[in-house]
Chain A
Amino acid sequence: MFAYALRRVVATIPVMAVVALFVFSLLYISPGDPAAVIAGDQATPQDVERIRASLGLDRPYLIRFGDWVWSIMRGDLGTSIFTNLPVSTMIAQRIEPTLSLMVITLILALSIAIPMGVIAAWKQGTWIDRSVMGFAVLGFSVPVFVVGYVLAYVFALELDWLPVQGYTPFARGVWPWFQNLILPAIALGGVYIALIARITRATMLEVLQQDYIRTARAKGVGQRGILFLHALKNAAVPIVTVVGIGVALLIGGAVVTESVFAIPGLGRLTVDAILRRDYPVIQGVILLFSFVYVLVNLLIDLLYTLFDPRIRY
């Protein structure tokens, strides 16, 4: 398995190279000019031109791309056009909030969605099943920002239980850290819960029809044991796959959630960078996201062996 993992890690290099080429080219051909944003609205065209030249944005595509790739190969993601800070520093400043949000959301989603899906499958066709599926449809349908506003209104403004916005670093204490993440995680988790609950229900329904479940019942195994020890374990592979795919949903959702709850994470950094055309930051963050996504999928593949010992690499 180690050899397989190593091969997969090595295989990420060409994937990242394609992503890099794609991202750079896309930004190159997209309209917009950071020099115009820097110069401000009152600047003359001559000022804008001089700033563009000083940033090296007037150089040919191939030279700029070559410089960038060479920097990346040396571990340097470049420097932000606007803040003059290294992109790696900006990412480091922002990674904790995003990571915290994603982890809390993941834990919340798994701990709610899997039992929901299992119970819905167990009680198929009953009002419980329909309620769970109704909730899932709602989770898919209501945009993250709407959920966010409603939660902030009820739990922060009306009840005054939780803060409206912001982020407290983990180092300042678990509760201050956690209380800033509760509402954003619920808002972000809605879609994710819906997705996992649906797939859990569908897979469980399939597994519950299997012969070995009938055998377990015949042997006198209790309902809880059947559901969570026998059926869920065998339904885990598709669920884990969806969890992995859903990381992309989380990344996308984090952009909106971080804006609604004013969390200084990578999602906001990405949006700000795109609006200002801060090319090095956009490139750096997208590369990072792509890398994380590739890595998560590798992890999911490896987890298959954990849940299904028959799988060997």
Chain B
Amino acid sequence: MDRRTLLKAGTGLAGAGLATAGLSGPALSQGAAARTLRFVPQANLANFDPIWGTQYVVRNAAAMVWDTLYGVDSNLVPQRQMVESEEASADGLTWTFKLRPGLKFHDGTPVLSKDVVASLNRWSVRDPMGQMIRAIQNDLTAVDDATFRWSLKQPYPKMLLALAKANSPCSFIMPERIARTDPFQQITEYVGSGPYRFVRNEWVPGAKAVFEKFADYVPRAEPASWLAGGKRAMIDRVEWVVMPDGATAAAALQNGEVDWWEYPISDLMPLLKRNRNIQSDIGDPFGNIGALRMNHLFPPFNDVRARRAVLMAIDQADVMRAVAGEDEALWKRLPSYFTPGSPIYTEEGGDLLKGPRNLDAAKRLLAESGYKGEPVVMLVAQDQPITKAQGDVTAAQLRAIGMNVDYVATDWGTVGSRRASKSPPANGGWNIFFSWHAGADCINPAAYTAIRANGDGAWFGWPNSPETEAKRDAWFAATGLEEEKKALSELNKAAMDHVIYAPTGFFSANTAWRRNVSGIVKAPLPIFWGVTKS
């Protein structure tokens, strides 16, 4: 082939391509556009197994696709969802549940108690509350197609909360054949039981996930309230559009290319608030708790006085301004480990975090702990704005009390790996890393892994405080609100005395949507049922 022939062939190919391209696909009609909601989630839906991967974004998508036996309402009270009735024996050792009729999976098969048993078995391996039940369980059996029974060795007063909670992993109900998958292996089929169906063939991980209304879903008669009540899908199709760049998401929302942005970054909120086509509000009423996590295994933080010096040095207001901005409606100081605003909230024992900072006293306490200026390895993930802001500010605050902070700027993936290391900080370990906990997880100890103080079994940092653990057990054994309040106060005090970790403040985030969308509610996760678009 000579060069002229090659050039001609190239031109011909391009022409043929353009001719074919003229056969375009159909465009969306206006009516179809109104029945489609385009939503920008907080993160990429990289996998879709809510038991295997417990990231919140997976939980949020899973709540559309899989239903639960119970669901918490906006008062945090567990309400029946797939269950029609339950009966606890007088000694609290046997729970018998009956499913409501008409429940169907997305493949058209009925939801049976054998599916529930398999789902609960898989969930209980991974979930902290599930593990507690599993540890005291005699058996979990299907009595008939609609009835199942959970028999225990000792009472578990928080049974309904465990089945209703919105914290990840939720006890989603899947078909038995799927739920039999090893909880540490990913499922490969996504047959749900909820109001929306996952459209697998349109899923492009990292870019797009599509959910379509499941016509055969039978909602409850009660009004919807968070994960409880009638989950009525009003939108035919929900498209999750993943946008890694906040400025792009803001522009797309302003331009009407997307309808709802779950977590607008605070810097862009003034811009969005100026747009009359956009509405915004605090999304999750429970917000988040910032956390400075210390390694209790190595000096200086193996001494409680050094940990207390950190509490005394941290100025939460400065940290929160860096995290959430100047809008004081979005953050507050938090002299507690628990979420403010809940009925059992307590600040018992949080005195070190209250009032003006006393850096001299913090310096003295740090010196008393035996600290002599050794490097304190602080891991700060730069790709997470929340951890970066916490790290930047607290590094300065800790240097102000004479701590020799070795600021290790890295990414979240590295922090996730290195924080699991129990090596000495100088040999690849660490002294401090930052995280944040969803406020919904910190209302009480039920799903609050970070409050555990059981040494090797505890969350990273491995605090060991039998007293804190005992107080935590007391909350689980509490049966009424007053008992729960008392137990939580004692737990907070014990945890603060031991300084399980250092809370850096409480902060919320906005959610923003186009004005032609209505029905968006404040909740710990984005709720799609009841949402309409004109």
Contact = CB atoms under 8 A, between A and B. Distances in A.
Interface in A144-175: 149, 152-153, 156-157, 160, 163-166, 169-175
Given A31-B417, A42-B450, A149-B247, 11 more contacts: A42-B437, A43-B449, A82-B53, A160-B255, A173-B22, A173-B25, A262-B207, A262-B244, A268-B244, A277-B413, A305-B3
The 7 A-B pairs of least Cβ separation, nearest first, read A173-B24, A264-B207, A33-B417, A36-B416, A40-B54, A32-B413, A172-B25
A160 B435 CA distance: 40
Interface in A259-309: 259-262, 264, 268-269, 271-272, 274-278, 305-307, 309
A135 interface: no
B252 A36 contact: no
Given A40-B53, A152-B248, A165 B257 contact: yes
7 contacts: A34-B413, A82-B46, A84-B186, A90-B205, A165-B257, A262-B248, A268-B206
Nearest to B182: A54
B55 interface: yes
A156 B44 contact: no
Contacts of A275: 383, 411-413
Contacts of A108: none
A73 B54 CA distance: 35
Interface stretch (A10-18, A44-52, A201-209): A44-52
Contact of B252 (A84, A164, A169): A164
B251 A156 contact: yes
A270 to B, nearest CB: 10
Given A262-B243, A262-B244, A165 B420 contact: no
Contact of A39 (B21, B22, B54, B414): B54
B29 interface: no
Interface in A35-77: 36-48, 50-51, 53-54
Nearest to A93: B204
Count chain A CB atoms within 10 A of each CB in B22, B52, B205 and give the residue with the most. Answer: B205
Interface in B132-168: 168
Contact of B241 (A166, A172, A175, A260): A166
A258 B458 CA distance: 40
B327 interface: no
Interface of A: 31-34, 36-48, 50-51, 53-54, 80, 82-85, 90, 93-94, 149, 152-153, 156-157, 160, 163-166, 169-177, 259-262, 264, 268-269, 271-272, 274-278, 305-307, 309
Interface in B232-247: 241-245, 247
Given A32-B413, A165-B252, A84 B244 contact: no
Nearest to A272: B206
Nearest to A309: B3
Given A31-B410, A271-B244, A45 B205 contact: no
B307 to A, nearest CB: 20
The majority secondary structure among interface residues of chain A is helix
B377 interface: no
A261 B257 CA distance: 12
A36 B52 CA distance: 12
A172 B27 CA distance: 8
Contact of A174 (B24, B243, B248, B411): B24
A304 B44 CA distance: 44
Contacts of A46: 457
Interface centre among A80, A259, A272 (most CB of B within 10 A): A272
Given A38-B52, A269-B206, A50 B413 contact: no
B126 interface: yes
Interface in B184-227: 184-186, 188, 204-208
A42 B55 CA distance: 9
B441 interface: yes
Nearest to A152: B251
Contacts of B243: 165, 262
Contacts of A176: 24, 27
A261 B244 CA distance: 9
Contact of A177 (B21, B241, B257, B411): B21
B455 to A, nearest CB: 11
Nearest to B7: A306
B204 A153 contact: no
B357 interface: no
A172 B420 CA distance: 48
B254 interface: yes
A163 B459 contact: no
Most A CB contacts (10 A, CB to CB) among B7, B243, B417 go to B417
A157 B254 contact: yes
A85 B207 CA distance: 14
